[in-house]
Each structure stands twice: as C-alpha cells, then as structure tokens.
Structure 1
Amino acid sequence: MNAVPHPTIALLQTSSLTSVVQQEIERAILQGEYAPGAKLVEANIAERLGVSRGPVREAFRMLEEAGLVRTEKNRGVFVRDIPIEEAVEIFDLRAAMDELVGRKLAEAITPAQLKEIKALVDAMEKAVKAEDARGYHLLNLKFHDRLVEMAGNSKLTAIYRKLIKELSLFRRLNLADGWLLPISAGEHRQIIKAIASGDPDAAGRAMFDHVMDSKERTIANHLKRSEAQAKKGRRAASQ
C-alpha cells in the first residue's frame, strides 16, 4: 500500500508544481507563443504540461498578480494587452529607476562586473550583424537585468522585473524592426562607456536617455501599427 504524503509535504509538492507551471506559461507569454489578447484554456494547458487543472488554475492567479494575464468573469483567462498609455507610464518609471542604477554603478561597479556587461554588448553587436532579432532581444533583457542586479537593491530589482515582464511584448515589437537593432546596440555601448568613466551624472543620463528613446520608439511603432490597421479596415469596408 502506498503511504499517504504528510499534509506539509503534499503542500510543498503542489506549490512546487504550481511554480513550474507558472514559469512555463510565463515563458510562453514572454516569448510570444501566446499573443496579447489570446485566451488561455485551462484544460488545454494542463494536458500539454501533463498536470491536473489545479496547478494551472493557481498559476493563472499568480500570473494575474504579476500583471501578465487578466480574468474575465464567465469568459476565462486572457493574456493582457497592455494599452499604450500604461506602457508609457511604465517607461517613465523605468527611466527614473535606470537613472538611479547608472549613478550607483558608476560609483561602485567592479572590474569583473564591467567585463561581464561588455561581453554582453559584444554578443548583442554580433546578433545585430547576424540579423538575429530574437537573440538580440534576449541579450537586451539580460543586459538590463544584470545592471539592475549589480546595483545591489533587491526591492528595486523585484519591482524592475515585474515592470519589464509587462513591457516585454512592446519591446519585442520595437526590436522587430531590423534597422533599430544597430541604434539600440550603440546606445548600450554608450551606457558602458558612461558607467566605466566613473561619472554618476553621465551614467545616469545615458541610462535615462536610452529608456526615453525606447519610449519614443514604442509610441511611433504603436501609431504606425494603428494607422496600418485603420487603413486595412477602410479597404475591407470599401470592398
């Protein structure tokens, strides 16, 4: 006869499974496998991952708290489609956070840390030459995440990561335009130079300006997509 697990062990097993399921759904959302507005069907995901529906349901709750999905009564769970107004607010908040990070790193970054972020920018420049937008996007995320982590403020890091997850679909769309990749890579090279100079004002300004430039690109891309959709709608109506 199989022994019944102790309640605490059963809880830990369920909690661990829920975390794995949540991480897998989050990965799929952030990598574009589920588009903004897509419905997430509990039964389908449970079958695909080989788990019961309970951990999937709990994972949905965690993802809603993280701002990645929304639950609509009697309709189900959907990937959030963040409005442009909210994205702009996040960019403004991120710019202030990144300015603080730049200032702190200019004063305290170690030679080993500087070498690490230089290697990341070298890899980003190789991705530009290879026209590898997806690879560039992942390196871009890692570069900024490491800078925030190196600043040594765990609260700031946690808040930053939540904001970045919410912005990720917008950022993927920004970098989908190949001509933007070399511009973005150049901005990252300038950030490294400013941090390495040891000048807090220059480093803070470089990081602040990079985020604000990214915000302007996001707004421009949003307007471009909106105009294209409106034009397509007008053509369909006239046929």
Structure 2
Amino acid sequence: MVVSVGNEVGADSVANRTAQAYQDLRALIISGHYAPDSRLTESELTTQLGVSRGTVRSVLARLAQEGYVTTEVNRGARTRSFTVEEAVEILETRAVLEAALAAKAAERATDEDIAAMTETCRRMWDQQKPGGRDEYVRLNHRFHEQIRQAARQSTLTRFVDSLLYPLVVRQYSNADRTNPRLESVKEHEAILAAIGTHNPESAAAAMRHHLSAVRRALQLNFAMSNDPSSSGADNC
C-alpha cells in the first residue's frame, strides 16, 4: 500500500512537470519567442524547460496535435507557419465565433463588466501614438478577453481559445509599424456601445465589422510580404 501511494505521488509529480512544460513552451510560441518555422530541438528544450527528453517529446506531441508545431520523422519539430489560405480561414472563423460571443455579452454583461471594458477602451485611446503599439496590443487582447468573460459562454470561449490566431498575427503583422491602426479604437467603442445598451444584434455586427477590418489589414500584409519595398499595414 505504501509503495502504491509513493507511485501515485511520483506520477502526479511527472504529470505536473509535463503540464508546466507544456504551458511554458506554448506561451513562448504564442509570444513570438520563436519565429514561424523555427526548428525546436529536444536538447535545447530540455535545458530551457528544465525537464527530461521524454517530457519534451510528450509536450511536442501535444502541441503538434493542437497545431502549434509540426513534426516530421527524422526531422524533428518546427513551429507552425501558415499559408495565406490557412491564415484567412482562421481569421474568418474567429470573426464568426467572436461575433457570437459579443452577442452573448450584450445579453449578459453586468455593470461591472461594462465599466471594465470602458476603462480598457479609455486606455487604448492613450496608446494611439507612435510607440504605443505594444501596449495597445496588450489592451486589445484584454478587451476581447473581457467580452468573453462577460459572455459567460464556455463552449464558444473554448473554441476561440483553440484557434491559432495569435500565431497568424505574429507571422503576418507588420512589426515595423509602431502606432496602432487609426480606426481600431473606434471599432472597439462601437462594440462596447452595443454591449452597453444590451443590443445583441448590433454587438455581433460591430464585432464582425471590426474583425473584417483586422482581416483586411492582415491580408494587405500578406500581399506586402512579397514586396520588400512596402511597409505594409498594422493588424490591431
């Protein structure tokens, strides 16, 4: 009986280390620490994550199943890169799901939810300046997360979280642009106004409009990526 308990504790410890290594590596990929199509070697990852090669293999297998990395026999693992067609499909899917979440948020948002989104939009205006892009991107992410929380719809939220949208943005956004897209805050405020007046149809339409604009900006970058002389467009 004592041996069994010890084995269970050991198994829990291994599972915890594997789960933490998965979270750490996934966060590194999403944050852009690795460029698209970067090679991931087991030896480097064991040092970086502080786990065994067996744990690294388990983590890479899970990330491959979820689409964050690709693996080939005898060639190891690489971070995922996307064709233009794949990226557009992900953007279109995101628009459908987040429009539905915005509609739910309009139905269910509390005064506290609306106040939090209002404050985020106010701070987004403060970043509409050269050099404000990084903080604006963080606030943009917060605003969309606040909508998901206000929607209180776990199934839709889970589907959105499973999309590889952050990787698409990392691959195709214009890293040289330092200021946010000019109309972006106005689009967020239109979403907020519809949620604040508890109008689901308007909230969904405003979200679709916003994400269509994001898609068009990124699609411009798709085209500009083949033209080194062009500066492209921002994604936010």
TM-score by length of 2: 0.87
Specify whether residues 57 and 127 from structure 1 end up closer, same or farther in structure 2 by C-alpha distance, changes over 3 A only. farther
Query: Does the CA contact (< 8 Å) of 2:98 and 2:160 recur in 1?
Result: no
**The structure with more helix, counted as a fraction of residues:** 1
User: 123-132 or 200-209: which moved more?
Assistant: 123-132
User: Displacement, 1:18?
Assistant: 0.9
User: Displacement, 1:175?
Assistant: 6.2
User: C-alpha separation between the residues in 1 aligned to 2:112 and 2:96?
Assistant: 26
Alignment partner, residue 169 of structure 2: 171
Query: Does the CA contact (< 8 Å) of 2:108 and 2:152 recur in 1?
Result: no
Alignment partner, residue 56 of structure 2: 56
- In the TM superposition, structure 1's runs of 4+ consecutive aligned residues that sit over 6 Å from their partners are none
Alignment partner, residue 14 of structure 1: 14
TM-score by length of 1: 0.86
User: Residues 134-145 of structure 1: matches in 2 within 5 Å?
Assistant: 134-145=134-145
User: Displacement, 1:206?
Assistant: 0.2
* Count of aligned residue pairs for this structure pair: 225
Alignment partner, residue 232 of structure 1: none
Specify whether residues 130 and 50 from structure 1 end up closer, same or farther in structure 2 by C-alpha distance, changes over 3 A only. same
User: C-alpha separation between the residues in 2 aligned to 1:24 and 1:218?
Assistant: 27
User: Displacement, 1:112?
Assistant: 0.3
User: C-alpha separation between the residues in 2 aligned to 1:52 and 1:111?
Assistant: 48
User: C-alpha separation between the residues in 2 aligned to 1:63 and 1:200?
Assistant: 35
Alignment partner, residue 158 of structure 1: 158
User: C-alpha separation between the residues in 2 aligned to 1:224 and 1:91?
Assistant: 18
CA deviations on 1:111-148 (whole Å, 9 max, x unpaired) are: 00001111222232223336232222222222212212
Which stretches in structure 1 are left out of the alignment for 5+ residues? 230-239
Query: Does the CA contact (< 8 Å) of 1:125 and 1:182 recur in 2?
Result: no
User: Displacement, 1:65?
Assistant: 2.0
Specify whether residues 138 and 79 from structure 1 end up closer, same or farther in structure 2 by C-alpha distance, changes over 3 A only. same
User: C-alpha separation between the residues in 2 aligned to 1:41 and 1:132?
Assistant: 35
User: 47-56 or 166-175: which moved more?
Assistant: 166-175
Query: Does the CA contact (< 8 Å) of 2:45 and 2:56 recur in 1?
Result: yes
User: Residues 83-102 of structure 1: matches in 2 within 5 Å?
Assistant: 83-102=83-102
Alignment partner, residue 76 of structure 2: 76
User: Residues 75-224 of structure 1: matches in 2 within 5 Å?
Assistant: 75-129=75-129, 131-163=131-163, 166-172=164-170, 173-174=172-173, 176=175, 177-224=177-224
Query: Does the CA contact (< 8 Å) of 1:69 and 1:77 recur in 2?
Result: yes
Letter matched to residue 40 of structure 2: L
Query: Does the CA contact (< 8 Å) of 1:42 and 1:57 recur in 2?
Result: yes
- CA-based RMSD: 2.1
User: C-alpha separation between the residues in 2 aligned to 1:116 and 1:103?
Assistant: 17
Query: Does the CA contact (< 8 Å) of 2:103 and 2:201 recur in 1?
Result: yes
CA deviations on 1:8-66 (whole Å, 9 max, x unpaired) are: 22121111111111111111111111000000111111112322212211111121122
Secondary structure at the counterpart of residue 77 of structure 1: strand
Query: Does the CA contact (< 8 Å) of 1:69 and 1:79 recur in 2?
Result: yes
CA deviations on 1:137-175 (whole Å, 9 max, x unpaired) are: 222222212212321121211110111xx1213324436
- Identical-residue share of aligned pairs (%): 29
Alignment partner, residue 33 of structure 2: 33
Secondary structure at the counterpart of residue 15 of structure 1: helix
